[in-house]
Structure 1
Amino acid sequence: MDILCQLQADLLGVTVRRPAVKDTTALGAAYLAGIAIGVWATPAEAAASWTEEAEFTPSMASEEISMRRATWSRAVERSLDWDRSPITD
């Protein structure tokens, strides 16, 4: 998972913070349920219990980012119209 977080940070040029709880969908549902029954009064109060496990900062050189984006763009272009079979109902 670290490599994917670092890749996102590098290619997007932003800091990526990974939470301690990996299943954030379930955590979000738990936060909403807790707010609904009064465990937390506000979403901000529930969010205060969120903890960070790791932080990833951009570290890739701009030339490398440009090369990887160009490669990705070519891959997307090649995949367009890959399957030309007719759509049937």
Structure 2
Amino acid sequence: MTRFTNRAHIARAVLESMCFQADVIGSPVVRPADIETTALGAAYAAGLAVGIWTEEDIFSTGVKGEGDTTFRPKLDEETRKKKVASWCKAVERTFDLADLSL
């Protein structure tokens, strides 16, 4: 980050980091066709609270909405391990940065 970093840069970094985390753990990412999932989540939570649905009803495996897009990881195991090791090393390097500003 620099003094020229703006909101668009932060938003892009967040999106890229989600994709990176999904790729390194080998998890597919499903982009729902319905982009208004906030209201749906609230309805599910309310339904769970009053017993209309169970968690199994909502989170059953293999359910894919019509029009959803699934992105599958493309990293092979060796590349995945290298990227995770590199990420861990980068995180470790940041641990003492707070002390440098004193």
| TM-score grouping bracket, smaller chain normalisation | 0.5 to 0.7
Residues 1:14 and 1:27: Cα distance change in structure 2 (over 3 Å): same
Match of 1:61? 76
Instruction: Give 5+ residue unaligned stretches, structure 1.
Output: none
Residues 1:27 and 1:82: Cα distance change in structure 2 (over 3 Å): farther
Cα distance in 1 between the residues matched to 2:93 and 2:36: 34
1:27 and 2:32 equivalent? Answer: no
Match of 1:12? 25
TM-score, normalised via structure 1 length: 0.58
- The SS at the match of 2:70 is strand
Among 38, 52, 68, which residue is 1:41 paired with?
52
Query: Which AA in structure 1 matches 2:52?
Result: A
The count of residues paired between Structure 1 and Structure 2 equals 82
CA contact (8 A) 1:6 1:56 kept: no
Query: Which AA in structure 1 matches 2:40?
Result: L
Q: Identity of aligned pairs, percent?
A: 36
Instruction: Give 5+ residue unaligned stretches, structure 2.
Output: 1-11
CA contact (8 A) 1:19 1:51 kept: yes
Q: Could you say what the CA RMSD is over the residues aligned between the two structures, in angstroms?
A: 3.7
TM-score, normalised via structure 2 length: 0.53
- The SS at the match of 1:55 is strand
CA contact (8 A) 1:18 1:54 kept: yes
Show CA shifts across 1:6-62 (max 9, x none).
5334210122223334454443112223x27x8x82142x668x7362112222122
Match of 1:51? 65
Larger fraction in helix: 2
